[in-house]
Chain A
Amino acid sequence: MLSFGLKSNASVETTAEHISLQATVTSVPRNSKGKVRYNRKAESEFFVDNSALAGFTGERILYMAVRELIENSLDSCESSQALPNISLSLKLLDPMNDIWFISCEDNGIGIPSDKVPVAVCSFLTSGKYVEKQQRGLFGVGLKMIAAFSTKDTDHPLMVWTKSQEEGSEYYFELRTDIGTNKPIVLDKKILKTDQRHIKTESGFMVQAVLRARLSPITKNKIYDYISQTSIVNPYAVLTFQTDEGKVVFDRRTKIMPQPAKEVLPHPSDMDLKTLKKAILNFTNQKTTLTGVLCNSFQKLSSEKAKEIVARSEVGLKVADKYNEHELIKVVNICKQTKFQIPNTDHLSPIGEHILTAGMTSEYTIVTNKQQTHAVEQSQQQLSVKVLKPALTTYSSRVCVVNNRPTIVECGIAYGGDIPSFKLYRFANKIPLLYDEGSDVAREVVSEVEINKMGISKKEVKEQFANPEAKGDRAIELLPIHIFFHICSTKIPYKTAGKESIASEGDLKRNMKICLSDLYRKVSAQIRKELRQKEAESRLHLYKYYIPLIVNAICESIKIDANKLSEAFGRLAERHVKGEIIYSQTIRKEDKITGDKIEEEINEKRESKIVRQNAIQNDNNNHGAIKKGSLKSDPKKNIGSKKKAIGLKPRGGTAGTGGRQTTLDTSEFSKKRSRG
């Protein structure tokens, strides 16, 4: 619904002024009896009213502000291939009124002074409306900050900029005319040397005041966001300062990824609008349609273009003379034509080296929960914890999603300092922190089995038992961090909120292949660790039981307890480490069986004789101790009617010379006497 009216935060005088100004500009139709009023709404007003589209909803205002500023800075540095130095500050100015101060400084390419007002304040004017992989969402981040700052506070936006072309540093004070989408320049000057802020060759700094609430959850999300940004941009130095302290994320590598390049749209994406826009680019140049086609779209050669024009039977004219009906025909033909898969060189993946650099020293912000009673201003409650994993792996795949080439990158960091399972998601190098449940990455993790790599859930549960672990799957119990990054010129987000990625086309399948690949690489290590832990716990078990056994033995026979204990301990250790070879004892056993066989034969003969006299006098050798015998007696069928030849004489041990224990019940019978 189009409407104009006073904003809800009309407590700010200047806003009201602007709106009353606006009211005079657009005339209000009088005598409206059921007539619909059509008014033009400025883009800025639209975006402010529907700030949710850009993610600037009540709770998340500061989170989005931080995001947008950092993303802009990173993009800017990437364009100039300068190793980023970004400094972000977030401080509470007025607790009573929820007034916050945010500032961000970078050493990117800066913005040329003539473009600054519009770039900062006017919505939908941006260098970002091209087919290119980029971080920002709609390109409205800075504008939203400016608009919100204007509507909620009486502080102007302060901007310092120094672009490479201009060389000198400019200072601006700006507000946005929300009604007209136009910037209001309150101050503009070139800075003299002693007033200059930016030390590098080029750079940009913005300071703004916003009204917003910051809940502890959102605060943690901000910290999370910065930590995660550091993982995928480890070549950047990030300095973050709040009322709780200051943290610095160091640069871990000097290598930067190739910047993303602008690319021509793919013809399978063509529709009437894009075709018309393409033709518009060639106005007054008398180019043929063929020429326009092959120059405006990638993977479209002039032969192909000629073919398309011929098939659409629209005749050959100068490009801008075609009418819409004819152009639609061309579009239809294009939709039916098969084109080559677009290439990926315009994309800028993170790359193995950089992601590994980020994964091998993962920074997290830690808040020291110490209660400081005194009114100390410089409380350092924040610190940076670095997690170093035992091993990292990387894998990537290229695929096509919605006719756009997409690169999927996957990384795993395992063990070492890593405490537990966590899934990190990135899209175009931006961390995604919300809506993990509906993200395709979550589905991928649920569906790829690590059990197939010889790691059973039971083992993992036993060894890595963690009462805090929420998940029930084996992978969620391991100390493992999984990183997913998807880069494309258009990320298939699920909702307008842009925090979770949808499972479109081949995306999920490729992600699963990547993850399986990594599981394979990591599983060897995990298995090894599981075995180690198991061996440790077995050794542990021995520690408890050996004393009991030694005690029992020493109670019965005269033997040195210490000597026995030590020997047993050594034996247990060796056993656990699997060093004990049974081959020797098998050889011994052969000798034993040789003896045993003989003994058995003797006993059998004996027992036959005995049986003839009295039933009770069977030789009954119960179990005796054998040394390491692995061979078992030949098995008999159970419960069959075969003749079991009496009770088997159990072989005695060699060495101690056939102990045959006879159960002599004949004594009992001897005692009888017939009366």
Chain B
Amino acid sequence: MPAKDKRHQEVVKKIKLIMRDISNDIITGEAMPILDVPKVGYDNTVWSDQKRMLTIGDKKVQVSPDSTKKIPTFTQYIVMASAIRRLLDEEMESTIRGMYYATLSTVGDEKNKQKFWNSQENSDDAIKAVELLTGVPREEFSVTSKPKGMISGPITLRVGGDLIDCNLGSRATSQLIPTNIRDVEIVNVRADFVMVVEKDTVLNNIRKSGFIQKYNAILMTGSGEPDRATRIMVKTLNEEWKKPVVIFADADPWGLGIALRYKIGSESLSYDSHRLVTPNARVLGMLFSDIYEYNIPEVARLDASDEDINRANDMKNKPWLHDKHWQRELNLFLQRKEKCELDAFFKHGFKYLADTYLPQKLRQAGLI
């Protein structure tokens, strides 16, 4: 049964084109078919000063069944592409784990049996490859994941025909951001700015204190590493609706890393940065210097691990953290070797975060 949705039909067409090309190559028999897949990873990620985000370089990986190592990979990509086409034609949805199972089989005969996928990592890679080959993000070919991001505040969305007002008061939960952001339409935004926090626990605390009403802000979280939908939402609110975006994360290299996802992008999704990255977002906290300025007691501070130190050293060399402010912060961290979570502010009182710390930071930044 062919796909009904027009967008899905397009994706199917693309996949079919790829297949046809490969089969032509095989039949003419002159050379092994080659898939030119852009390389996604650390060594093919380029910092763009102009765009102020991480972009993908020019490196390509040529996947072709011409060597023993590449045959399985090539097969995996093709099999996954075909499975995705089937998914679309049946107008079904699946997660990446679902795709893993859908395509799982054994390869080989009695003597050496192997699983088609060594681990789910391989099937994830294959899905990514199909994304790269077709130029379509995977949400659009119905391979989704659990929605993670949450939004709360004076904003109205239309999701699949239903109007949703995210300003549900301080008692109810926040609105989950659907994974297929294409299905989401922003109808109305009445807030003055957007605040993104790293953890949903912090979000709930802030929301409960009435922060939204007091400062007319939209609260968002990615619940850790933000998924694409969340990032796209942030970007849209910033660039289309012209709302300033501020980010608060824990005071440790990991938290800083997460904050930077929104701001500069990530290596694994560098090919999609132009859709996901909000260069104008401001990372306001939690700064390492805040630990001392706001008198977080020593008992609430955590010791930095070796990994943290290494990461901080790494970050010092990155071009996007080159300005004096960040260098100072990182040096402070390396010197004191202490990190801290936003939750530590609860020591000062459950409302301290929303009533004192955040407003002070926002005032300093000139948002309120």
A residues at B contact (CB < 8 Å): 537-538, 541-542, 544-545, 548-549, 551-553, 555-557, 559, 563-564, 567-568, 570-572, 574-575, 580, 582, 584-585, 615-616, 618, 620-629, 632-636, 638-644, 646-648, 650, 653, 656, 659, 661-663, 665, 667-669, 671-673, 675
Contacts and interface: CB of A to CB of B under 8 A. Distances in A.
Interface in B57-95: 57-60, 62, 65-68, 71-72, 74-75, 78-79, 81-83, 85-86
B163 interface: no
B269 interface: no
Contacts of A656: 17, 20-21
Across the A-B interface, give the 9 residue pairs with the lowest CB-CB distance, nearest first.
Answer: A661-B135, A552-B82, A622-B135, A675-B188, A628-B31, A671-B185, A633-B58, A552-B79, A545-B75
Contacts of B71: 541-542, 545
Given A575-B32, A633-B58, A668-B182, A567 B27 contact: yes
Contacts of B15: 556
Contact of A639 (B22, B26, B45): B45
Nearest to B17: A659
A641 B274 contact: no
Contacts of A622: 38, 131-135, 271
B32 A616 contact: no
Residue among A538, A615, A669, A673 with the most chain B CB within 10 A?
A615
B309 interface: no
Given A623-B37, A632-B60, A668 B271 contact: no
B240 A672 contact: yes
A648 B19 contact: no
Contacts of A538: 67-68
Given A618-B274, A626-B34, A675-B187, A636 B57 contact: yes
A650 B135 CA distance: 10
Interface string B216-256: 00000000000000001000100111000000000000000
A623 B133 contact: yes
B210 interface: no
15 contacts: A545-B65, A545-B75, A553-B22, A571-B26, A572-B65, A585-B31, A623-B38, A623-B132, A628-B30, A633-B58, A636-B46, A638-B43, A661-B134, A667-B182, A668-B232
B96 interface: no
B21 A653 contact: yes
B36 interface: yes
A635 B240 CA distance: 34
Interface in B91-122: 105, 107-109, 116
A663 to B, nearest CB: 5
B185 A639 contact: no
B186 interface: yes
A248 to B, nearest CB: 40
Nearest to B20: A557
Interface residues of B, number: 84
A556 B16 contact: yes
B352 interface: no
A647 B270 CA distance: 10
A580 B239 contact: no
A538 B23 CA distance: 21
B50 A643 contact: yes
Contacts of B81: 552, 556
A648 B75 contact: no
Given A622-B135, A633-B58, A672-B241, 17 more contacts: A551-B82, A553-B23, A556-B15, A557-B23, A620-B274, A623-B38, A624-B36, A625-B22, A627-B33, A639-B46, A644-B46, A650-B38, A656-B17, A661-B14, A661-B135, A669-B236, A675-B188
A538 B60 CA distance: 25
Contacts of A650: 36, 38
Contacts of A572: 65
Given A552-B78, A570-B29, A672-B240, A623 B35 contact: yes
A629 B68 contact: no
Contacts of A553: 19, 22-23, 78, 82
Given A616-B274, A638-B46, A668-B232, A629 B74 contact: no
Contact of A567 (B26, B59, B67, B134): B26
B186 A643 contact: no
A643 B49 contact: yes
Contact of A582 (B31, B46, B240): B31
A627 B32 CA distance: 8
B304 interface: no
Contacts of B27: 563-564, 567
B358 interface: no
Contacts of A628: 30-32, 34
B344 interface: no
Interface of B: 14-23, 25-27, 29-38, 43-51, 55-60, 62, 65-68, 71-72, 74-75, 78-79, 81-83, 85-86, 105, 107-109, 116, 131-137, 156, 181-182, 185-190, 232, 236, 239-241, 271, 274-275, 319
Contacts of A551: 79, 82
Nearest to A580: B31
A663 B232 CA distance: 14
Contacts of A633: 58-60
A659 B108 CA distance: 36
Given A553-B82, A641-B47, A644-B46, A673 B23 contact: no
A533 to B, nearest CB: 12
Given A544-B108, A665-B275, A549 B78 contact: yes
Nearest to A659: B17
B45 A625 contact: no
B141 to A, nearest CB: 12
Contacts of A642: 46
A647 B240 CA distance: 21
B36 A621 contact: no
B58 A648 contact: yes
A100 B171 CA distance: 104
B30 A585 contact: yes
Contact of B79 (A548, A585, A635, A668): A548
A601 B82 CA distance: 33
Contact of B58 (A634, A641, A643, A675): A634
A570 B32 CA distance: 11
B3 to A, nearest CB: 12
Contacts of B190: 675
Nearest to B322: A641
Given A556-B16, A568-B26, A636-B58, A625 B32 contact: no
A553 B20 CA distance: 8
Contact of B68 (A541, A634, A665): A541
B46 A559 contact: no
A567 B60 CA distance: 27
Contacts of B133: 622-625
A575 B70 CA distance: 14
A469 B19 CA distance: 46
B225 to A, nearest CB: 21
B118 to A, nearest CB: 14
B188 to A, nearest CB: 4
Contacts of A559: 20, 23
A659 B14 CA distance: 9
A556 B85 contact: yes
Contacts of B20: 557, 559, 656
B82 A625 contact: no
B185 A545 contact: no
B58 A549 contact: no
Contacts of A627: 25, 31, 33-34
A575 B236 CA distance: 50
Given A647-B271, A656-B17, A549 B75 contact: yes
Nearest to A661: B135
A647 B56 contact: yes
Residue among A628, A642, A648 with the most chain B CB within 10 A?
A628
Contact of A557 (B16, B29, B59, B135): B16
A625 B29 contact: no
